[in-house]
Structure 1
Amino acid sequence: MKAILLKGKGGADSLFLGDYALPAARPGSVLIQIKAFGINHAEIYMRRGDWGDTTDIIGIECVGIVAEDLSGTFRKGQQVAAMVGGMARNINGSYAEYVAVPVSHVIPFESSLPWNELAAIPESYATAWAMLRWCLEAKTGETLVIRGGTSTVGMAAIVLARHLGLTVIATTRSAAKQGLLKELGADGVVIDDGEISGEVRRLFVEGVDKVLELVGTSTLADSLACIRPMGALAMAGFLGGLAPMENFHPIFQLPNGIRLTALASAFAFGQKGFEFAKIPLQQIITDIENKRIPNILRMTFPVSQIREAHRLVEAGEANGKVVMEW
């Protein structure tokens, strides 16, 4: 098969299209013929070596058709989506024509959407849904700040939160991207200069009900200051860097009564209580297909242009999901 491989760790030029052995179908896994896959910041970190050792083939999500399933769970030719489940860490990932993924990390669906549109959905929408429903237990009528609104998970969260009936305030570091966030459904946009709690408290004097923190530890304390008593914050990203917080004392710095939680989708999905199959991916796809909610796809590249796609995502210039198509 053809696969996108790495010439060591480094810049986008380290990616190249080459030949690789076809993965074998094995018990407990599904062999998928990949039609398209999304580009994620996780793969930028993997390519650069920021996340340590990876397998020969990176990539954490894909859509395609079942080539073989020894368990009989899925039929040959069935449309499926897959994400993580050890891809790029314990097993080869999705930057290839075929991948063998654990059964527990595969969701079937039916759709007439083209493959590139489908490929923009799994990781971003699944993570956003899990953060809103599992971690934050978001409810209609609540107020929500999405810190890091122009990330793909942030964009998907705006869409799903508004569809759920929340009032959404999204943040961005770029004033030029305010219109994009409002088009997706954000009720308001706050320009993030590192401190947003003052502006959020001006808009909501008692604080907001929930915060989805996608920037990370560098803004966590300020995000906590946005929340009303008995509210909640969930972390799901580190767009601001991987460095841990220094001298963080929860008993003194965590506001009284506020719940702090997190979700590392690459490790959590598939674990007990976080089963991938419980995420209503079919409903999300159907809602996008019927234009009840928008997709966040921005650009589609042929796999031969993987370097250009990586540079675009790494520079933060995509303004939506970038997809590669075989």
Structure 2
Amino acid sequence: MLAVHFDKPGGPENLYLKEVPKPSPREGEVLLKVAASALNRADLLQRQGQYDAPPGASSILGLEASGYVAELGPGCQGHWKPGDSAMALLPGGGQAQYVTVPEGLLMPIPVGLTLTQAAAIPEAWLTAFQLLHFSGNVQAGDSVLIHAGSSGVGTAAIQLTRMAGAIPLVTAGSQHKLQMAEKLGAAAGFNYKEDDFSEATLKFTRGAGVNLILDCIGGSYWEKNVNCLALDGHWVLYGLMGGATISGPLLWKLLFKRGSLITTLLRPRDKKYKQMLVKAFTEQVLPHFSTEDPQRLLPVLDRVYPITEIQEAHVYMETNRNVGKIVLNLSQ
């Protein structure tokens, strides 16, 4: 089969398609013929040599995919059959013509969604769901500050925050991104390039601060995050796009707020945790993607590239211009 490959860490120019052996499903696994796979920041970091695949996972890029069940491995429980369409959460391997998946990490594709749209759901939406409910314990009426509000995780978190009865606020780097976030349901948006989002957040909340912060930035935002965190608030850190270094009295300020700093990643989690997360998401959230749901959830797609243009897709993601997901089409 063909798969995205790079011989050494570096820039997008190192990526190319290579013929590699097609995997065979092991005990409890399904072989998925991939139609589409979305691009994630983790793919860029792995390409740069900064984020290796977890032990035992495929070293091929791609943390989510959609396609058709091609083969069932031994010990499968019979929930899936060859030819079924499905989408999958993956620790790696999605940017190839075939990928093996534990059957508990497969999800049905909601009525009315294309395979391309479905490929944009698993990693981003499960991450947002985990951040809000498993880590952040979001409650109805909470105010939630979502950094990178126009990203794949951000656009999912806005919609899931609304569904939980909470109030989403976002940061983004352009007026266009803020407008898109507000169309999805953000109550307010702050341009971090022009405004102090901490002061703007405090003004919006009338000085109370936000109950929950979803933060993929890290180091460069710590002081503003703590400043606009409500008493007893939760700050959930899931990325370090703004660096990992802290200089200043973080602990003192956090202690004064009685704040909780929670860190989480999804990719390195074990299979049991991921299956529990997928099950909860499938039961609680997936039905709301249906065209028949009056408060329909929708994955936001920015661009779709053929897999042959993998270098261009990485270059585009690195410009930070995308609103929503960048999807790779493998159905050729």
Fold shared, TM-score > 0.5 on shorter chain: yes
Deviation at 1:101, TM superposition (A): 2.5
The residue type paired with residue 234 of structure 1 is V
1:277 aligns with 2:278: yes
The residue type paired with residue 280 of structure 2 is I
1:64 aligns with 2:70: no
Secondary structure at the aligned position of 1:219 is classed as helix
1: distance between equivalents of 2:286 and 2:329? 18
Question: Which deviations, in whole Å up to 9, do the C-alpha atoms of 1:65-123 show, x marking residues without a partner?
Answer: 22222222332223322223x42xxxxx1110111123443334453421101111111
Secondary structure at the aligned position of 2:99 is classed as strand
The equivalent of 1:308 in structure 2 is 312
2: distance between equivalents of 1:166 and 1:62? 30
Q: Among residues 65, 70, 81, which one is paired with 1:75 in the alignment?
A: 81
Partners of 2:105 and 2:274 within 8 A in 1: no
Partners of 1:79 and 1:110 within 8 A in 2: no
2: distance between equivalents of 1:107 and 1:167? 28
2: distance between equivalents of 1:37 and 1:53? 17
The equivalent of 1:240 in structure 2 is 242
Deviation at 1:208, TM superposition (A): 1.8
Partners of 2:301 and 2:325 within 8 A in 1: yes
RMSD: 2.4
The equivalent of 1:90 in structure 2 is none
2: distance between equivalents of 1:31 and 1:308? 28
Deviation at 1:173, TM superposition (A): 2.5
Partners of 1:212 and 1:233 within 8 A in 2: yes
Partners of 1:57 and 1:94 within 8 A in 2: yes
Change (3 A) 1:112 1:196: closer
1: distance between equivalents of 2:108 and 2:167? 32
Deviation at 1:270, TM superposition (A): 3.1
1: distance between equivalents of 2:173 and 2:273? 36
Which one is further off, 60-69 or 284-293?
284-293
Change (3 A) 1:217 1:270: farther
1: distance between equivalents of 2:82 and 2:283? 19
2: distance between equivalents of 1:58 and 1:225? 37
- Number of residue pairs matched? 319
1:158 aligns with 2:164: no
Partners of 1:32 and 1:64 within 8 A in 2: yes
Which one is further off, 202-211 or 268-277?
268-277
Deviation at 1:220, TM superposition (A): 2.3
1: distance between equivalents of 2:277 and 2:16? 31
**TM-score with structure 1 length normalisation?**
0.89
Deviation at 1:189, TM superposition (A): 0.8
Change (3 A) 1:218 1:196: same
Q: Among residues 207, 210, 219, which one is paired with 2:209 in the alignment?
A: 207
Partners of 1:110 and 1:282 within 8 A in 2: no
2: distance between equivalents of 1:277 and 1:79? 16
Deviation at 1:60, TM superposition (A): 1.3
**TM-score with structure 2 length normalisation?**
0.87
Deviation at 1:188, TM superposition (A): 0.5
Instruction: Work out the percentage of aligned pairs sharing the same amino acid.
Output: 27
Which one is further off, 275-284 or 255-264?
275-284
Secondary structure at the aligned position of 1:305 is classed as helix
The equivalent of 1:218 in structure 2 is 220
The equivalent of 1:134 in structure 2 is 134
The equivalent of 2:31 in structure 1 is 31
Partners of 2:110 and 2:290 within 8 A in 1: no
The equivalent of 2:289 in structure 1 is 288
Partners of 1:224 and 1:255 within 8 A in 2: no
Change (3 A) 1:141 1:298: same
